[in-house]
Structure 1
Amino acid sequence: MTVPEKPNILIVAPQSDNKEVNAEDGVVSSSSDKSSPPTGSVNKPIDAGKSGTLLNDKKKIDPKTLTVPTSQPKQQPLALQPAESAVPDKIKEGDGIQINITNTEFINAVFQDIPQGAYAAVCSKPGDPSKGGWLAQRADSAVAQLNAKHNNYFNCSSFYLGEDGSFFARKERFAACHFFVLDDVGTKIPIERLGNFEPSWMIETSPGNYQVGIILAEPITDGAEAERLLKTLIDAGLCDPGASGPSTRWVRLPIGINGKPKYANKIGKLFQCRLVKWHPERRYTPQEIIDALKLKPVSSKNLKKVTKPTNSEANAVLTPRAAENPVISALKKSGRYKTPLGQGKHDITCPCVHEHTDALDDGAAYFEPNEQYPLGGFCCHHSHGDRYHIRDLLEYLGISEIEARHKPVIRVIAGDLSRVVDAAEKVLADHGQYFQSGGLIVSIAIDPTTGDPTIVPISPPALTRVLSTVAIWEKYDGRTKGLVRCDPPMSHVNILYNAGSYRYLRSLAGIVRQPYYRESDGVLVTEPGYDEISQCYGDFDPNEFSIPESTLEAAQTALALLEKLLVEFHFVAGTDKSAALSAIFTAVVRIALPHAPGFHCQAPIFGSGKTYLCELIGAFAGPATNIKVSYPTTSEEATKVILSLLLTNPAVIEFDDMDTDWLPHGIIKRMLTTDKITDRILGVSKTATVSTRTLFLGSGNNVGPVRDLLRRVLTIRLDPRCSTPATLSYKNYPVEKVRKNRGRYVSAVLTIIQAWRMAGSPRANVQSIANYNGAWSDYCRHPLIWLGYPDPATSLIEQITHDPDAEALKELMFEWNHSFGSQPITVRKVIKHVQEDNKGKDLYQALCELPVLDNKGNINPSKLGWFLKKNANRIIDGYAFQKCEADGRTAWRVVYVKSPDSPPPVERKREDVSEEDDDLLVNPKTNGGIKTDDY
């Protein structure tokens, strides 16, 4: 049967001008003709609304007012004709062939009860509807302008406006579901499947293919209930499996085309959709739909919520991330998931596989979200691949953008600040890339050039950005009466930043760049990643490191390999070469050592290889070059420099080309004898505790450690014994060798240590060194002695026993006693004595060797008093300065300290001292001599 051409239908609207509906463009136009319809017409009045706005009342609409009048004269044919198709008898019975109604009137009849503040949604797409996206528009302002020559759709649900007044048909803005539609009735679904069920409408959308609409008696505002009923229809085979959510369901309006080229007629004209059945008064409850269509209800278990959260959900501050990516779950549910391809890529069936050449099911993939693509990605290698993107896939699957991001959700609830901050810390910890270290929140960054890892403290602005990345933040919006997305509040961010201690973030003790010994149990850890016991993070490739059988022979072979690296360096003595090897060992195992000395490369002239030896030692510590800085000149500068450098946990800090001695600044002393130091961060009113497990190196010509650093810095002496060592040529290039094959050389060090441990950890009978008798001696001293090398700590012991400062202090004690004996005397009287008494010239010379003079060369009372206080009770050759009182003021005296293990005082005579005076030094019992003071 040939479908008749569309006529112009006159619809009488009460209390207004007659409105003429042109079936070609679907636009209602005013007419001055107020005459009645032609004789024989069965049209009756219908209230389409005076202003064209949506009708929200529940007036029943008589479907007979919209039937086609039998006596209407034939009009000119439309430019777009429906393709020829036969209308099944089931549809034709009592309903006519085509019912003419505007899209506005159609939507008004369907959406009679919309929640306050919500709107129906329409979408219009020209040409082939498979191209381009889906732009939702408010029906109240857009439906009257829909072009009849476009593909025109409306959504099953209504939606709330966004906080900014924007309108989107998205799951998170769902207000209510108003109807359901059965797909492909007449083709994939036989008409007989409906039985005696009478739908609200039927629209032929392609030749012989119908969409069947079922209007709900009451809109469903519970998204879970709407999804459950839709799932029930899908499981019964009455809906497209891709229709996974009520909020993403677009169906055709009666006035519009089906622009797919395959549905054009023989002369190329596109198919015109047509309403063939229209009974808007037929409305059903969910149970009536289930009973009439003989459906099996789906359980609510595991259904995703699509509506505003319930009270209990709204009170939940943190919603954890779904165990499985919702997009992957939806793909599996719709039968379109194939297999994982690795690295977040998945092989899937393209939703538009029917458009592929020969309908080949290949070439489509889904990519999980990452920082660059927060929604993930969709790619199809067929010809339509440039038209379909991730949002098209999400729309097809009924997945909202919030779900697609696959992140936890944090809700900012007034009065729950503590819980919100805890939730923020928890999602930060669950992310796995953030830690706490020394009271700070930190992450690990990898240098793209060298591959060296560093610890990076996070600032408040950076923390805000990170929190917005690792979680979706929501707050309640009073206007929409629902949750809307927001940024992390700065008040919450600042509280988290300044917390100082954290419940969920893992503690980070340090970064390791090669296999390492765990301090607590001595186990050699060879796997990278975070170690829960040591709290260290290993960033290295375990395949680069290979430790052979731990035997003496293996250790000797490994030592020979290391010795080849040192053959061209001009060491002063064998102990200096041993010290250089000890520095290499320290570089490898520094993370396992609570304390380790610094190493200073000393030479008499430039070009002797000091800096190059430091580079070689540093190459064993990590892949990056040494961090080189100038030696700080003041204690304040030292604190700023050292703390800022240690915050990043570098492998090596090198004081290069020093032109001054290792001055004993407070923080320099602490970094070499303590595991951690705490101080204020420069430019921030916040303190930090940093690890000192970094290798400290220095180099300079004829400079070295002094005073308190003599026992903390081990000196390696070089001397080429030529006038121009810079002109010497070298062939081995040891630094380059280690850089190219660092794993081999680091493994050689570990082999030696392992062999020493397997041999029973034999310890040589050598002098002990305070602070360095434990792990450092075990890993970096005794293994070398075990293999026949001299004690690498020899220079350290010599520096301690031949302390020039101690010699100067000893000289002061001698001259002090010669002038005052054991009599208490104030600093002021001491200065007066050396200035006025000719006998005080030797005491003056002794004082001039000490840091007690001002810029003019005069003795400064404050400096002298500070020096005596600093060296009080320090025993040198059995004598010490002791603090006391004289004339009501602080005074000082030299005393002999009796010790059962110490030898008697060394006799010393001066040419200008009589035997009687000299006897005062060696006989503590002599009247007027040095007083014996046991303490």
Structure 2
Amino acid sequence: MAENEIPVSPLKLKNHEFILAIFPETLPNAFPAVCTKSGDPETGGWAARKVTKEKEPQLINSYNNYLNCSSFFQSEENNFFNVRKEHFAAHHFFMLDDFGTKIPFERLGNFEPSWVLETSPKNYQIGIILTDPVTDSLEADRLLKALIDEGLCDPGSSGIARWARLPVGINGKTKYIDESGKPFLCRLIKWNPDKRYTPKELIDQFNLKPIESTHSSVSEKFSQPDRSSDILIPKSDENPVITTLKIRGLYKESLGSGKHDVTCPWVNEHTGALDTGAAYFAPSEEYPVGGFCCQHSHRDKYRIRQLLDFLDIQFNDSPQHKPLIRVIDGELDNVIDAAEKVLAENEMHYQSGGLIVSIAIDSTTGDPTICPTSVQALTRKLSASVTWQKYDGRSKKHISCDPPQRHIAILYNSQIFRHLPVLKGVVRQPYFRESDGELVTHPGYDSTSNLFGVFDPSKFDLPEPTIEAARSSLSMLEDLLMEFHFVSEADKSAALSAIFTAVVRSTLQYAPGFHVKAPVSGSGKTYLCELIGAFAGPGGNAKVSYPTTSEEATKTILSLLLTNPAVIEFDDMSTDWLPHGTIKRMLTAEQITDRILGVSKTATVSTRTLFLGSGNNVGPIRDLLRRVLTINVNPRCTTPATIAYKELPVDKVRKCREKYVSAVLMIISAWRKAGMPRSNIESIATFGGAWADYCRHPLIWLGHPDPATNLIKQLKQDPDSDLLKELMAEWNTVFSSRPITVRKVVEYTRNNGQNLLEAIRELPVLDRGEINPSKLGWFLKKNANRIIGNYEFQESSADGRKAWSLIFVSPTPSQTDK
């Protein structure tokens, strides 16, 4: 350690780690700002330095080190970086000062701050990270003023470009120098970067009073001038051509589909001055500025241009009835903001996982999908829906132009959007809203759940949910399964649970996958998967081969989930469900974040898709045993491929999907109305909440065995557990509890450890038939401290190397009872 450095804070967190946790993302070309000052920080200026993810800022531990609450744009003209009003990008966190000395901690109540930093003896700074950075400086300034007025911060601490102390550094103020001449060392006491808050949550938590804008010198110093009214001119409520026709008394009525009956301005030229046969056509993709047609003899003489001239409307004066965006130098952020507003107001584009997306509906099946837009498609859309202008120095007026590629590219790559509504997924039938359990029966965008429904509500029959109606609905669903050869009633119940999951998957944060297993081909595995998938949406299952490598799994699953399909099916699997990392996450995480194949962008995708699989004598293994529920079918005949499903259950559901989906919704609604009776069954980690309520308890309530029976059996009959138990038995015989390295274990098996060798060879640790020491070490590490038969492997050391010991664990009273 250098002489001018001091140890890091008690929580062992580096300044760079601290900064990146607070600023996971910034606007394009915007950066966090730090400042470092030696000695007394009250002397000298405040030279700002930008912080990047790749390079650790040059901060000396024995200096006063600061982080700004906001991020700032780097000058595009000269790459100069400073903390100035014209470079403000966004406000990321609030810092409340002087807790412990001037402000008692009791003022926080039960509020959990993002961090607590001791900056001088018994004096603390409280950090509050915002869920989404506030890009309106005046809004952030008003919220800070409200915090100050509520007595939560020093009144002299106004201004959103405040400098907060970093955890690694000193407080060099003279009054805090101790008797030995050493400054006070900052100490990070609490660190909860996952605690992030919206402005509304802060207002509700502290009962803040709204503060009107005072345009104080502080807020003006760090705010940008509002040029939005100069940049974005919204389209009028009515097409200006129609408005002018009405004013001139020439408008008659709308004829539908953009066609309007009007009086021809040159009616006096008609034979007999007949006021008939003239029409105005509103702008369309085929006719961008509209059209005019008169059926009388002068129809070739008077067209849309002549009509606009007559109405004194300039040809380029937005007769297309579109908003207008003016590209003004120095207003890049406001121009981009205006373009995003237009996209949001069109109600055709959304933000999803850091991408701009739209919703497409298959013209054949009617199945909706989420479509990530490309920069080319975004350019075309903004060109078609907006009139763009730039100032021409020669003519001294604004002239039409194409959407600037630089602005469009920045909007496309932003990943943080101010106006586009968040889209979490598309739903293909009425659904239970996750937040309050209400059954949403209207299509379109729901701002509470952030879901977009694509369905015809009139086709779903949802009468009063009674237990009688629930039993009738269940009987109708059971008829669909009548010809399938389930091994047990629990398998049939699991199939019904899969159908329920297909209907309500968009409501559930987590749901297991389902695997249909049979001993031979032709047993109806794929057909059952098609039946289950038919409940999820009008389109067919997205069928793919099960990925053989983790890299392939990431690429396949991410690319599929980008479109939010209703069902992903691993059809006719020839291998077990291998526990690739992405496969595990898609079943127990609400989202997956990774890089898009072939594009230098990352995306966060929803996992609210039903996952199905089928195969002969294959199924989930290892970590997937608790994530995938197996449905066993076995026709027990020599030629199962000749079995015919005379009732055609898949065709029935596809023809009347709404009726069968309504049956599932009826059962769940009736169970909820009955008080949500829950049976005393074993809980399953991750799937013990909403999935159990919607897809497990209602079936048990109506007399079916627990649908999760096979999943619980898989957990209890874990073959990996048996293999580990066998290894422990042989290990105990040879080494007892003494620590031993993996290298010596392998050496022992090469000489005289046949029984131990056979136990190890059953594990996934072989390379070309030989034990791979690295894989064996990884296996032991993965299973460390896992108790099997009152034994566990514990990490230890031997001969100065990492080693392993098999330790006996005394049984607990509950184990003794068993």
TM-score normalised to structure 2 length: 0.70
- Corresponding residue for 1:535? 450
Structure 2 distance, partners of 1:629, 1:382, is 62
Q: Is the 8 Å Cα contact of residues 878 and 902 (structure 1) preserved in structure 2?
A: no
Change (3 A) 1:388 1:581: farther
Match of 2:282 among 342, 346, 368: 368
The CA RMSD measured in Å over matched residues stands at: 1.8
- Corresponding residue for 1:862? 774
Name the count of aligned residue pairs: 592
Q: Given the alignment of the two structures, is residue 853 of structure 1 paired with residue 766 of structure 2, yes or no?
A: yes
After superposition, what is the alpha-carbon deviation per residue over 1:826-863, rounded to whole angstroms, capped at 9, x for unaligned?
000101111112xx2111110011011111x1111111
Change (3 A) 1:476 1:904: same
After superposition, what is the alpha-carbon deviation per residue over 1:83-132, rounded to whole angstroms, capped at 9, x for unaligned?
xxxxxxxxxxxxxxxxxxxxxxxxxxxxxxxxxxxxxxxxxxxxxxxxxx
Structure 1 residue 896, shift from structure 2 partner: 2.4
Whichever residue aligns with residue 283 of structure 2, its letter is: P
After superposition, what is the alpha-carbon deviation per residue over 1:357-402, rounded to whole angstroms, capped at 9, x for unaligned?
6544344333322333322333445565566543343233222333
Whichever residue aligns with residue 466 of structure 1, its letter is: K
Whichever residue aligns with residue 869 of structure 1, its letter is: K
- Corresponding residue for 1:512? 427
Q: Given the alignment of the two structures, is residue 833 of structure 1 paired with residue 748 of structure 2, yes or no?
A: yes
Structure 2 distance, partners of 1:561, 1:360, is 65
**Max radius of gyration: which structure?**
1
Q: Given the alignment of the two structures, is residue 396 of structure 1 paired with residue 310 of structure 2, yes or no?
A: yes
After superposition, what is the alpha-carbon deviation per residue over 1:696-736, rounded to whole angstroms, capped at 9, x for unaligned?
00111111000000010011111111111111222111111
Structure 2 distance, partners of 1:625, 1:383, is 56
Q: Is the 8 Å Cα contact of residues 517 and 630 (structure 2) preserved in structure 1?
A: yes
Structure 1 distance, partners of 2:595, 2:813, is 44
SS in 2 for 1:736: helix
Q: Is the 8 Å Cα contact of residues 346 and 367 (structure 1) preserved in structure 2?
A: yes
Q: Given the alignment of the two structures, is residue 555 of structure 1 paired with residue 467 of structure 2, yes or no?
A: no
Q: Given the alignment of the two structures, is residue 573 of structure 1 paired with residue 488 of structure 2, yes or no?
A: yes
Q: Is the 8 Å Cα contact of residues 503 and 661 (structure 2) preserved in structure 1?
A: yes
- Corresponding residue for 1:843? 756
Change (3 A) 1:899 1:364: farther
Structure 1 residue 418, shift from structure 2 partner: 1.1
- Corresponding residue for 1:443? 358
Change (3 A) 1:368 1:899: farther
Change (3 A) 1:471 1:887: same
After superposition, what is the alpha-carbon deviation per residue over 1:138-191, rounded to whole angstroms, capped at 9, x for unaligned?
xxxxxxxxxxxxxxxxxxxxxxxxxxxxxxxxxxxxxxxxxxxxxxxxxxxxxx
Q: Given the alignment of the two structures, is residue 659 of structure 1 paired with residue 574 of structure 2, yes or no?
A: yes
Whichever residue aligns with residue 457 of structure 2, its letter is: P
Whichever residue aligns with residue 616 of structure 1, its letter is: L
Q: Given the alignment of the two structures, is residue 794 of structure 1 paired with residue 709 of structure 2, yes or no?
A: yes
Q: Given the alignment of the two structures, is residue 318 of structure 1 paired with residue 232 of structure 2, yes or no?
A: yes
Whichever residue aligns with residue 573 of structure 2, its letter is: M
Match of 2:787 among 875, 886, 900: 875
The correspondence of residues 627-646 of structure 1 with structure 2, limited to 5 A, is 627-646=542-561
Structure 1 residue 766, shift from structure 2 partner: 0.9
Structure 2 distance, partners of 1:316, 1:873, is 66
Structure 1 distance, partners of 2:709, 2:297, is 77
Structure 1 residue 661, shift from structure 2 partner: 0.5
Structure 2 distance, partners of 1:325, 1:789, is 61
Whichever residue aligns with residue 264 of structure 2, its letter is: C
TM-score normalised to structure 1 length: 0.62
Change (3 A) 1:486 1:521: same
Match of 1:489 among 396, 404, 407: 404
Change (3 A) 1:325 1:716: same
Q: Is the 8 Å Cα contact of residues 315 and 413 (structure 1) preserved in structure 2?
A: no
Structure 1 residue 356, shift from structure 2 partner: 4.8
Judge which range, 648-657 or 383-392, deviates more: 383-392
Change (3 A) 1:545 1:414: same
Change (3 A) 1:795 1:385: farther
SS in 2 for 1:714: strand
Structure 1 distance, partners of 2:228, 2:467, is 68
Q: Any stretches of 5+ residues in structure 2 without a counterpart?
A: 1-225
Structure 2 distance, partners of 1:785, 1:464, is 54
Q: Given the alignment of the two structures, is residue 601 of structure 1 paired with residue 516 of structure 2, yes or no?
A: yes
Change (3 A) 1:736 1:314: closer
Q: Is the 8 Å Cα contact of residues 598 and 713 (structure 1) preserved in structure 2?
A: yes
Q: Is the 8 Å Cα contact of residues 270 and 297 (structure 2) preserved in structure 1?
A: yes
Q: Given the alignment of the two structures, is residue 583 of structure 1 paired with residue 494 of structure 2, yes or no?
A: no
- Corresponding residue for 1:162? none
Change (3 A) 1:760 1:685: same
Q: Given the alignment of the two structures, is residue 411 of structure 1 paired with residue 326 of structure 2, yes or no?
A: yes
Match of 2:800 among 858, 872, 888: 888
Judge which range, 338-347 or 564-573, deviates more: 338-347
Structure 2 distance, partners of 1:692, 1:566, is 27
- Corresponding residue for 1:813? 728
- Corresponding residue for 2:632? 717
Whichever residue aligns with residue 715 of structure 2, its letter is: I
Change (3 A) 1:845 1:406: same
Structure 1 residue 901, shift from structure 2 partner: 4.6
SS in 2 for 1:869: helix
Whichever residue aligns with residue 322 of structure 2, its letter is: K
Q: Any stretches of 5+ residues in structure 1 without a counterpart?
A: 1-311, 907-935
Q: Is the 8 Å Cα contact of residues 316 and 411 (structure 1) preserved in structure 2?
A: yes
Structure 2 distance, partners of 1:815, 1:314, is 75
Q: Given the alignment of the two structures, is residue 693 of structure 1 paired with residue 608 of structure 2, yes or no?
A: yes
Structure 2 distance, partners of 1:577, 1:865, is 42
Structure 1 distance, partners of 2:238, 2:458, is 32
Structure 1 distance, partners of 2:274, 2:707, is 73
Q: Given the alignment of the two structures, is residue 349 of structure 1 paired with residue 263 of structure 2, yes or no?
A: yes
Structure 1 distance, partners of 2:475, 2:771, is 56
Structure 1 residue 424, shift from structure 2 partner: 1.2
SS in 1 for 2:230: coil
